[in-house]
Amino acid sequence: MLQLENLSVRYGSFRALNDVSLHADEGELVVLLGANGAGKSSIFLTVSGLNKPAGGAIRLKGKEIGGMKPSKIVRSGVVHCPEGRKLFPKMSVMKNLTLGAYVYSRDQVGVRRSLEEVFELFPILRDKRYEAAGSLSGGQQQMVAIGRALMGRPKILLLDEPSLGLAPLVVKQVLDVVKKINENGTTVLLAEQNAFAALKIAHRAYVIEGGRIVMEGESDTLLHDENVRKAYIGA
Ligand SMILES: Nc1ncnc2c1ncn2[C@@H]1O[C@H](COP(=O)(O)OP(=O)(O)O)[C@@H](O)[C@H]1O
Ligand SMILES: [Mg+2]
């Protein structure tokens, strides 16, 4: 589905990503583990066209998408749910959600159908649809952010730290929803610092440190790996 080959990204002279190669196959839930500053968000920003790659290739179903316009990348099926949610707090939940379908604004029937799907996944958002997004709890705001991404009709969803800043019980709810979205057929690439919970729902994982992939494997293997446990799980 999505394949990165020797992707490099620079901010000025700083090399944020060095020869990053990874892939997510159709139907997979792949997690990207790494500490703050490792380069997770840089990967997502580059795949979704907001950063320009300095080198390497980004392919979706074999077709190069590196350097394409963000709106074209969304249309091709890559949708990014950014770190920190990035909602419009004064706008209603409904308005925030429909913004996620901006590339499909000529297809209002389709937009309504997507909205219905999001409300089925997150019934609480239907109840709160006319409330300001900023008035919702942290977990509910994350649901709006994920819902907005789903409105973009992802074939592959890039989810950047959806559990950031949420209480443990809410983290579990959010990751359960991520798992469900994947089971419903959407390929997911998930960045998480919550390694244990993320590995529990993922099929495979990559570990990124200092802009390089340093480890990859099946989730089960990484869950039991001594170094991963020490560095990311704390057991
Ligand atoms: N816009 C930017 N300009 C300069 N440096 C940046 C920028 N964005 C990120 N960085 C740096 O790139 C590195 C990777 O950051 P990031 O991709 O945000 O990591 P993560 O998401 O894993 O925390 C960090 O050292 C960060 O400080
Ligand atoms: Mg980040």
The residue type found at 161 is E
Of 100, 201, 217, 210, whose CA–CA distance to 149 is shortest?
Answer: 100
Ligand 2 is an ion; its neighbours by CB within 5 Å are: 40-41, 83
**How far apart are alpha carbons 127 and 112 in whole angstroms?**
16
Can you give the pLDDT at residue 235? 55
pLDDT in tens, 10-47: 999 999 999 999 999 999 999 999 999 999 999 999 99
| For ligand 1, mutation pick of 8, 22, 41 (most atoms within 8 Å of CB) | 41
- Ligand 1 atom, smallest distance to 36 CA: 23
Handedness of CA 125, 126, 127, 131 (dihedral sign): positive
Q: Coil, helix or strand for 122?
A: coil
pLDDT in tens, 188-220: 999 998 899 999 999 999 999 999 999 999 999
pTM to 2 decimals? 0.95
Q: Which residue, chain included where needed, has tokens 């592959």?
A: 156
Express each pLDDT in 125-159 by its tens digit.
999 999 999 999 999 999 999 999 999 999 999 99
Amino acid in position 122: F
Residues 163-181, mean pLDDT to the nearest whole number: 94
CATH superfamily of 1-77+199-235: P-loop containing nucleotide triphosphate hydrolases (3.40.50.300)
Within the chain, what is the greatest distance between any pair of CA atoms? 52
The closest ligand to the CA of 84 turns out to be 2
For residue 220, give the 3-state DSSP assignment: helix
Closest CA to 189 of 75, 68, 20: 20
Tens-place pLDDT, residues 55-111? 999 999 999 999 899 999 999 999 999 999 999 999 999 999 999 999 999 999 999
pLDDT, residue 67, reads: 85
pLDDT at 45 (0 to 100)? 96
Nearest CA to ligand 1 atom 25: 37
Among the bound ligands, the one closest to the CA of 14:
1
Helix (H) or strand (E) holding 150: helix 138-150
List the beta bridge partners of residue 187.
156
The Å distance, Cα 50 to ligand 1 centre, comes to: 13
| Dist CA 188 CA 26 (whole Å) | 9
Specify whether the CB–CB gap between 33 and 56 falls below 8 A.
no
Q: Give residues (CB < 6 A) around ligand 1.
A: 11, 14, 16, 34, 36-42
